[in-house]
């Protein structure tokens, strides 16, 4: 399958395969393009004609229309092969083959892959860059290439969703898990993981930390109330699991412990200064975080990351409400 002489292609293939769970989790794009296209629709025959014509005159509308039109055939193709009795290896190999085909096309090389956890404004900016290039191929009369690429993009995204237990989005069910994967449900895995991290922070309570923020020397006493945080998490897990489910977006137990989900959640809880000393510095949390995510670069910056997605906003708002209830008086 792989051409060893294509080193650049191989590098891109390996990078995309490693991040496939996030960079091909494209449901957000389906929804965003649907909203864009149908906000442009007009009623009446003349309005319909004008609307349809606009698809081929504007890069973003062209991309949105052709992308959405390509979905049905790709979904039918994958639906025909999804079978609970088939081993995961079959679908993993299918994903790899399609991904290699993806990076082997000119359009695949130009596609600006973006993780669904990236900030919404950045995701939108990147698909619009891709749309401009795809539109340029349309202007060159390469509509067949465009349609084939978008069909392939959907196939990759759908198989990726099936393997990561998000197949219900597409009316597909496949429950086999990766060999060696945890039997713990994702919500419990996430809650236990963040609790363990915060409890690890609390082991440093009482330590005097020297600071030099903006060149001004100072110190503070480290304090994180892990007990109140854990009580909050138990309440969240028991009564507001639907908020956590939306935030985790269909990940399995291992995926739920990803740094890109865990660090922003913990970072937000601590930024409220409800269960910790206000002087707490992100850089002072880094040594503990690196025990859970060894080798990660700029890990403290992940504590401040916000995706801007509604699921995140709703969950974080609930965290603030519950922390105020459970903080020690």
The residues facing 210 across adjacent strands are 219
Q: 248-268: per-residue pLDDT in tens? A: 988 888 889 999 999 999 999
Q: What is the mean pLDDT of residues 291-296?
A: 84
Q: Where are the domains of the chain?
A: 7-170, 186-326
Report the pLDDT value the prediction gives residue 180, as an integer from 0 to 100.
Answer: 57
The CA radius of gyration of the chain, in Å to the nearest whole number, is: 23
Q: Write out pLDDT tens, residues 125-157.
A: 999 999 999 999 999 999 999 999 999 999 999
Instruction: State pLDDT tens for residues 160-176.
Output: 999 988 898 899 999 88
> What pLDDT, on a 0 to 100 scale, did the predictor assign at position 289?
92
> What residues does 236 pair with on adjacent strands?
none
Poorest-pLDDT segment among 42-51, 54-63, 99-108, 172-181? 172-181
Percentage above 70 pLDDT, the chain: 95
Nearest partner of 317 among 243, 241, 242, judged by Cα: 243
Task: Flag whether pLDDT at 1 surpasses 80.
Answer: no
């Amino acid at each position: 399958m792989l051409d060893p002489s294509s080193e650049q292609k191989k590098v891109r293939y390996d990078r995309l395969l490693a991040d496939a769970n996030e960079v091909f989790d494209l449901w957000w794009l389906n929804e965003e393009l649907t909203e864009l296209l149908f906000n442009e629709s007009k009623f009446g025959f003349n309005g319909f004609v004008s609307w349809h014509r606009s698809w081929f005159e504007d890069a973003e509308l062209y991309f949105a229309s052709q992308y959405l039109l390509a979905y049905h055939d790709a979904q039918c193709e994958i639906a025909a092969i999804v079978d609970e009795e088939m081993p995961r290896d079959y679908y993993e190999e299918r994903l790899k083959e399609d991904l290699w085909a993806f990076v082997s096309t000119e359009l695949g090389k130009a596609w600006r892959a973006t993780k669904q956890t990236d900030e919404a404004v950045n995701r939108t900016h990147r698909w619009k860059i891709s749309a401009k290039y795809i539109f340029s191929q349309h202007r060159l009369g390469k509509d067949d290439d465009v349609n084939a690429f978008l069909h392939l993009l959907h196939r990759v995204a759908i198989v990726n969703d099936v393997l990561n237990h998000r197949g219900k989005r597409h009316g597909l069910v496949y429950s086999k898990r990766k060999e060696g994967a945890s039997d713990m449900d994702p919500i419990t895995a996430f809650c236990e993981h963040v609790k363990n991290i915060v409890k690890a922070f609390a082991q440093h309570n009482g330590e005097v930390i020297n600071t030099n923020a903006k060149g001004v020397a100072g110190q503070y006493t480290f304090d994180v109330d892990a007990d109140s945080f854990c009580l909050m998490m138990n309440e969240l897990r028991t009564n507001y699991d639907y908020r956590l489910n939306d935030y985790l977006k269909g990940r399995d137990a291992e995926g739920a412990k990803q740094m890109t989900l865990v660090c922003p959640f913990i970072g937000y809880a601590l930024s409220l200064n409800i269960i910790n000393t206000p002087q707490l510095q992100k850089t002072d949390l880094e040594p503990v975080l690196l025990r859970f995510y060894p080798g990660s670069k700029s890990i403290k910056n992940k504590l401040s990351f916000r995706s801007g997605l509604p699921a995140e906003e709703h969950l974080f708002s609930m965290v603030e409400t519950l922390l105020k209830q459970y903080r020690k008086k």
